Homo-oligomer: A and B are copies of this chain.
Amino acid sequence: MNQDLTALVRKINDSAEFNRWCGFEVVTCAPGAVELAMPWRTEVGQYAGFLHAGVVSALIDTACGFAAATLVGPHLLAAHFSVNCLRPASGQRFIARARVVKPGKQQVFTACELFAVKNGTEKLVATGETLLTVLQSET
């Protein structure tokens, strides 16, 4: 079952141009939980050479959306998201681990932690959360 989930989520990930440009990789999927990774390269940097807050946000928002999609399917839109920047995000690789906090028919609450990997060691660099709206089918 998780293989089907992973295939579904990878398909969504591959269909998004920005995700492909960033190099997002869907590592693992389980019901209500997703791990998303991205290698560092200089194009995703801000002025001081850290990971740009927009890409921090993209990783968190995307992982949260995928976690929600494992439970309620892909017809979702982020309504609100927020990010806490705990430390300057610097590393060779970034891993976002998202989970569903509370699913629902109308909305799904999710949360995410973002880790930077440097010389094999993970460090928590940001946390975030996304509130997603389930699109009502118009039957």
**Contact surface of A with B, Cβ cutoff 8 Å:** 12, 15-19, 21-22, 42-47, 52-55, 57-59, 61-62, 74, 77-88, 101-102, 106-107, 109, 111, 124, 127, 129, 131, 133, 136
Contacts and interface: CB of A to CB of B under 8 A. Distances in A.
A16 B52 contact: yes
B109 A133 contact: no
Counted per complex, copies of this chain come to 4
Interface of A, helix, strand, loop or mixed by DSSP: mixed
A18 B16 CA distance: 18
A52 B109 CA distance: 19
A54 B44 contact: no
Contacts of A85: 77-81
A44 B54 CA distance: 12
Contacts of A86: 101-102, 109
Contact of A46 (B18, B44, B80, B133): B18
Given A53-B58, A58-B57, A129 B18 contact: no
A93 to B, nearest CB: 17
Given A57-B57, A127-B101, A46 B84 contact: no
